[in-house]
Amino acid sequence: MREFNAVVLGAGGVGKSALVVRFTQDQFLDTYDPTIEEAYSKTWTVDDELVQLDVLDTAGAEQFTAITELYIKAATGFVLVFSLIQEASLKEVSNLRTQIARVKGVSEADVPLVVVGTKSDLVYEREVQPETLKELSYQWTVPFYETSAKKNSHVQEAFDDLVRQMRTQETRQ
């Protein structure tokens, strides 16, 4: 069984922990503890291959710090998270993407990465429109997922996609 490791980055309160808990434990985490920083793991099958993904859920990525840089160095795959109900959190994703390529010393296109918009269930509070995401996805050539940890919508798909990208990268090396 192949093992991969990924890190989850994004602004505070966007739903990183809820996303990872939904993915690994199939539960909705409705309490908000901004300080939680924890490693999770899940084993599942992607296209007939059993894989293990170790996921680090990070806290406090408001500022780009030395710690963030260490996380980036240690990870092969990235889940960049923003909230569909908070437009400003999308900026943070853009910054992170640039920093990841810089720290890894590779072109942005060569990093296994998915962008995850959260809280799609909060339809009436939505600030980021699908067209904006479609446009960014095209510009960055990166897949975007609109998810809800609460409703369990498109969470699994995002991680399947990430694993596929990591497999492809491993094969290329």
**Where along the sequence are the contacts to ligand GDP (CB under 6 A)?**
12-18, 29-30, 32, 34, 118-119, 121-122, 148-150
Which of Mg ion, ligand GDP, none is residue 118 near (CB under 5 to 8 Å by kind)? ligand GDP
14 binding partner (options Mg ion, ligand GDP, none; Cβ < 5 to 8 Å by kind): ligand GDP
Long-range contacts of 125-133 (CB under 8 A, 24+ apart): 125/85, 126/84, 126/85, 127/84, 127/85, 127/86, 127/87, 128/82, 128/84, 128/85, 128/86, 128/87, 128/90, 132/90
17, 89, 120, 147: residue in contact with Mg ion (rule CB under 5 A): 17
What angle, 0 to 180 degrees and rounded to 10, lies between the N-to-C axes of helices 16-25 and 155-172? 80
Residue 114 forms beta bridges with which residues? 79
| 3-class state of residue 7 by DSSP | strand
User: Which residue, 97 or 126, has its beta carbon nearer to ligand GDP?
Assistant: 126
Nearest approach, Cβ of residue 20 and ligand GDP (Å): 8
CA–CA dist 22, 73 (Å, integer): 26
CB nearer to ligand GDP: give 11 or 163.
11
Out of 5, 24, 36, 132, the residue judged to bind Mg ion by CB under 5 A: 36
Burial (CB < 10 A; 0-12, 13-18, 19+), residue 153, is middle
Q: How far is the CB of 59 from Mg ion (least distance, A)?
A: 5
CB of 35 vs ligand GDP, minimal distance in Å? 9
Least Å from the CB of residue 53 to ligand GDP: 18
Interface residue list for Mg ion (CB under 5 A)? 16-17, 36
